[in-house]
């Protein structure tokens, strides 16, 4: 029997989004997600809530510069780095100012997309008025099978696969703790940032968020609905750059050893309640 990866359990701690109009994005995120903002370095801002945290950096619009996973224990972080290098995957020094430099490291997936692992430099500073913990980030890729195999080599566990009628993979969801997915990828023509999601504590929180957003005249884009893979209730909307933001509730819990399932590539899979955003 092979040794399991020390990755488990790991949660998404923050993501870095790049934009060619950071002030517009900063203003939107600050208001809509109720975040405190500070400039970290020239052209990079830290947007901090209690359970949701983002870096916004000047750069290409719709860029996901990296996803950052928290490994709170220094010994497990070191064990994970050794494990990953043992899989023949190159690591580099960490890339996020929100992690302690010591022990933090990064890897690049087959598209060159960065994942970084580290120990958070500080504990959450406050409680959020409306619950919404940054929970997963999703990408589009023309190299879906390779990306999924890469994630599995790191220690992510396959939860659900979506297949077209020719048996080709069109989407995959992987987990690094018992929540159904902490990452996912859709088959797309070019690599791109798809969306990120915040997990609320209940369906009533989804209602409260929609009321709050409505009061600011921020319109929902897709949903409310219920995803097949993950079984979570959700709605999504686009930020001013067109990045999709998701609010979710009741995401499915799957033990580590629970086998992956397969879904057909159809709108019903992505939204059991109706119409879907089909990426391919």
Q: Interface residues with Fe ion (CB under 5 A)? A: 197, 246
Residue 239 or 246 having the CB closest to Fe ion: 246
Report angle CA 182, 187, 191 to the nearest 5 degrees.
Answer: 80
Q: Are 150 and 157 in contact (CB under 8 A)?
A: no
Residue 78 or 158 having the CB closest to Fe ion: 158
Minimum gap (Å) between residue 217 Cβ and Fe ion = 24
Residue 91 or 231 having the CB closest to Fe ion: 231
Residue 279: name the closest of 114, 138, 137 by CA. Answer: 138
Cα separation, 127 vs 232, in Å, equals 23
Minimum gap (Å) between residue 105 Cβ and Fe ion = 26
Minimum gap (Å) between residue 166 Cβ and Fe ion = 25
Minimum gap (Å) between residue 4 Cβ and Fe ion = 26
Residue 79 or 169 having the CB closest to Fe ion: 169
Residue 106 or 271 having the CB closest to Fe ion: 271
Minimum gap (Å) between residue 179 Cβ and Fe ion = 11
Minimum gap (Å) between residue 234 Cβ and Fe ion = 7
Residue nearest to Fe ion (CB): 197
Residue 179: name the closest of 199, 209, 161, 207 by CA. Answer: 199
Q: Please name the residues in contact with 95: beta carbons below 8 A apart, sequence gap of 6 or more.
A: 66, 104, 106, 114, 116
Cα separation, 21 vs 25, in Å, equals 7
Q: Where is 67: in which H helix or E strand?
A: strand 63-70
Residue 107 or 134 having the CB closest to Fe ion: 134
Report angle CA 90, 162, 132 to the nearest 5 degrees.
Answer: 75
Residue 117: name the closest of 147, 141, 96 by CA. Answer: 96
Backbone angles phi, psi at 7, to 5 degrees: -60, -40
């Amino acid at each position: 029997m092979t040794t399991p990866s020390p990755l488990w359990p790991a949660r998404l701690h923050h993501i870095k989004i790049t934009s060619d109009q950071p002030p517009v994005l900063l203003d939107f995120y600050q208001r809509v997600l109720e975040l405190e903002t500070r400039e970290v370095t020239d052209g990079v801002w830290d947007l901090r809530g209690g359970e949701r945290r983002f870096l916004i950096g000047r750069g290409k619009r719709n860029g996901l510069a990296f996803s950052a996973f928290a490994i709170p224990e220094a010994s497990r972080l070191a064990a994970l780095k050794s494990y990953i290098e043992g899989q023949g995957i190159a690591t580099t020094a960490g890339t996020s100012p929100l992690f302690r430099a010591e022990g933090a490291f990064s890897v690049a997936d087959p598209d060159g997309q960065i994942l970084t692992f580290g120990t958070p430099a500080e504990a959450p500073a406050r409680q959020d008025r409306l619950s919404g913990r940054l929970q997963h980030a999703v990408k589009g890729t023309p190299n879906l099978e390779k990306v999924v195999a890469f994630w599995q080599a790191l220690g992510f566990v396959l939860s659900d696969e979506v297949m077209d009628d020719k048996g080709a993979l069109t989407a995959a969801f992987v987990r690094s703790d018992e929540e159904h997915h902490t990452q996912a990828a859709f088959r797309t023509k070019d690599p791109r940032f798809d969306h990120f999601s915040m997990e609320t504590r209940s369906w009533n929180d989804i209602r409260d968020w929609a009321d709050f957003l409505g009061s600011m005249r921020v319109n929902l884009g897709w949903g409310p609905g219920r995803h097949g893979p993950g079984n979570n209730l959700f709605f999504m909307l686009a930020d001013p750059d067109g990045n999709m933001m998701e609010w979710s509730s009741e995401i499915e819990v799957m033990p580590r050893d629970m086998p992956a399932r397969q879904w057909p590539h159809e709108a019903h899979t992505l939204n059991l309640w109706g119409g879907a955003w089909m990426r391919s």
